Amino acid sequence: MAEFTLELNDDQKQVRDWLHGFAADVIRPAASEWDEREETPWPVIQEAAKVGIYSLDFYAQQFFDPTGLGIPMAMEELFWGDAGIALSIVGTGLAAVGVLANGTEEQIGTWIPQMYGDVDDVKVAAFCSSEPDAGSDVASMRTRAVYDQAKDEWVLNGTKTWATNGGIANVHVVVAVVDPELGSKGHASFIVPPATPGLSQGQKFKKHGIRASHTAEVVLEDVRIPGHCLLGGKEKLDQRLARARERAASGGERVKNAAMATFEASRPAVGAMAVGTARAAYEVALDYAKTRTQFGRPIIDNQGIAFQLADMRTQIDAARLLVWRASWMATTGKPFTSAEGSMSKLYASENAKKVTAQAVQILGGNGFTREYPVERMHRDAAIYTIFEGTSEIQRLVIARTLSGMPIR
C-alpha cells in the first residue's frame, strides 16, 4: 500500500510539467477561439493524441498510479489550460470509467481502445445517464433495455440528455432500466457499438460555459445490441437483481447502481478539474494585482485586494488536499466512511465558482470583458457544481453517510 505523501515523486513531477507545457503552449492559445465557435476542438484533440496525452495508455498509467494522484494531477493541469478544451480531451474518460467500473476484462480490452481510436483517426466516447426527467433523481430513469432471448440481443429505447460527446461518439455507454420495480437498483450499463442503427443525436446544447465541449441529447429508437454488450454480463446482472429483490423484500440495505458506481469513481477527478480552473483564475488575478496601479501603487498593496488573494490561495490549496485525500483513499482501498469523494467535489466545485468570481472582481471592468480569460473561467466554473452530481446531491450523500441513512 502506498504511503500518503504531499510530495510528488520525480516521475509525477515530470508528467505534471509535461502536461503544464501542453496546456500553456497548445490549449491556452486556442481557448478563446473554440469557446466562441462552440465546437469540438478536433485539431487540439489531435495534437493531444500525437504527443500521447489523448490515449488509453496515458490514462491507464495515471489511473493505476499507486499513490492515486496521477488522475487528479493530470486533470488539474489540463483544466488550468482551459476547461472547455480539456473536457473535450478527457470527456471520453467518463465512458471509459463506466466500462472499468462495470465491465469484464474482455469488455475493457475490446471497447476502451475503440473509444480513443488512434493518432491517425481520433475517436471520442460518451457516457449517457441523465434524462430530461431524470438527472439527480436517477430512480426516475425511463430509458428501457429489454432482453430478446431468442436473438440474444438487448433492445434500448429512450432519450438521454447532457451527454458529453453525445451523438458524435464512436462508442456510447448507456445506462438503462432493466427492472422498473427495483427503481435505481434495476439499472444496468450497455455498450452501443459504432454505427448502431437507431441511435441518433438530438438537440445540441448551447451552453453558458465549457462551450468547446460537445453536449447533446442521444435518442435511442429500437436500438438492438448483442447480448455481450451488457457490461458485466447477464449472469452477473441476474445475480445482482436477485440480491436487490431480496433486500427490497426484507427492507435490507440497498445496493449501488451502475451509474452511481461510475460517478463515485469520477467525483474526485471533477474536483481536480475545479481546482485547475480556480488556480488559473487566481494566477491571472495575482499577476494583474501586481501590475495594475491605482492611486500611485499596485492594487495588491491594498489590503482589500491582498486579503482576497490570500483567501483564494488558501481555499485552492485546501480543495486540492481534499481531492488528493479522496483519490489516495480510492486507490488504496480505504472506504469513504464520511463520503470523502463527495466532500472533495463539493468543496472544490463551490470554491471554483467563488475564486473565479473574485478574480473577475479584482480585474474590475477588465474582468468583465472577453479580453481577459477570467470572464471565460467564471462561466466555465459554474458547471462543476452541476454535472456528475450537483452540490445539493453531494451534501445529501455526505449527510446520509454521516447519519447512516441509505444513499439512493
Q: Give the residue numbers annotated as catalytic, written as ranges.
A: 388
Helix (H) or strand (E) holding 64: none
> CA-based diameter of the chain, in Å?
82
Residues 388, 267: contact at Cβ < 8 Å? yes
CA 241 to chain centre: 28
Residues 222, 198: contact at Cβ < 8 Å? yes
Query: What is the C-alpha to C-alpha distance for residues 255 and 392, in angstroms, rounded to an integer?
Result: 22
Within 110-238, strands assigned E span 117-118, 121-122, 125-128, 144-148, 153-164, 171-177, 187-192, 199-204, 215-226
Query: What is the C-alpha to C-alpha distance for residues 220 and 202, in angstroms, rounded to an integer?
Result: 10
Grid coordinates representing 147 are 432482453
Which residues are bridge partners to 126 per DSSP? 172
Strand, helix or coil for residue 279: helix
Quickly count: other Cβ atoms within 10 Å of residue 373's Cβ: 20
Residues 71, 327: contact at Cβ < 8 Å? yes
Q: Which residues contact 360 (CB under 8 A, 6 or more apart)?
A: 367, 368, 374, 375, 378
